[in-house]
Copies of this chain bind each other. A is one copy, B any other.
Amino acid sequence: MDKQRYLQRTQDGLWLTEDEKENLKLSYRVRDVLFEEQSPFQHVMVLDSYDFGPMLVLDGVVQTTSVDGHIYNEMLAHMPLTLHPAPRRVLIIGGGDCGVAKEAAKYDVVETIDLVEIDEAVVRACRKHMPEVSGGEHPDPRIRHHYSDGVEFVKGRQGEYDVIIVDSSDPVGPAEQLFSSAFYRDLHAALDEGGLMVCQSQSPIFHRDVMLRTWERIGSLFPHVRMYTAVVPTYPGGLWSFTLGSKRPLPAPEEIRFDKEAFYVNENVLRASFALPAFLEKLIRERGGK
């Protein structure tokens, strides 16, 4: 079995050691392998870990965990859906753990949620083994699954969406295109007149170049651009950035209203997440913050 490439059994039990970073390795002790499959795209596992509960692991790298995955998903979903006054048509690119879609379904005004995840195995694994994140095996009927390439999916679409959420993995390999100017142009075209988009734009500390490039690319397309931050699960360094691009003016943070039930997000957290650390505010200003 391929999992032997990623898991080691020691006298302490079973361990997953992430091997993607050159200078840093994380090892998680796990109780059990809940799901394992080699999909056409990647090696997919759900591991029952001791400290983080069930976690989604792609090609040996932890993507999200049951203990803290909601922080990222809630911050990515609720910000654009709260800022848009009537987000009827929502598109999610990536997001195979279904957590962003689950949060989007909390809005009565939302009519359709197109979830474009290339790998059906990821969706199946998370729906079955990570219900706290995915919402389980009986999702809201407004969620429409499209198992296709997000970059291809948005090409040629004109004004079809009110909100687009890009829930990508790191910009290496297949996800690299999800950080390209051409892709952002397609997203801009696919948004209706008053539409807005958001993407995760990596760590301000460890991926400064990617973050600033994303900021500039989105800023060159949209008249209104804003950055916010949150803690990111299971990543040393903690801080993570998100970039919003909007065709309509955005309300000031203190005007934000939020009344959904969520684990992490509330009205104050949404407002506060625009308070950028001093070094980050300076970086953004130097790159032409709006």
Which residues of A come within 8 Å of B, CB atoms?
A: 15, 21-29, 49-51, 67-68, 71, 205-206, 231-239, 262-266, 268-269, 271-279, 281
Contacts and interface: CB of A to CB of B under 8 A. Distances in A.
Contacts of A21: 51
Given A233-B238, A236-B236, A275 B278 contact: no
20 contacts: A21-B51, A24-B26, A25-B26, A26-B26, A26-B27, A26-B236, A51-B206, A68-B205, A68-B238, A71-B239, A231-B237, A233-B236, A233-B238, A234-B237, A263-B279, A266-B277, A266-B281, A271-B272, A272-B273, A272-B274
A22 B68 CA distance: 19
A231 B231 contact: yes
Contacts of A274: 268, 272
B68 A51 contact: no
A271 B276 CA distance: 11
Contacts of A232: 238
Q: How many copies does the complex hold?
A: 2
A68 B280 CA distance: 13
Give 9 closest A-B pairs by Cβ, nearest first: A231-B238, A272-B272, A272-B275, A268-B275, A23-B50, A238-B238, A23-B29, A25-B27, A266-B278
A6 to B, nearest CB: 15
B28 A51 contact: no
Nearest to A28: B24
A24 B27 contact: yes
B237 A264 contact: no
Nearest to A261: B278
Contacts of A278: 262-266, 269
Contacts of A27: 24-27
Given A26-B24, A28-B24, A67-B205, A264 B236 contact: no
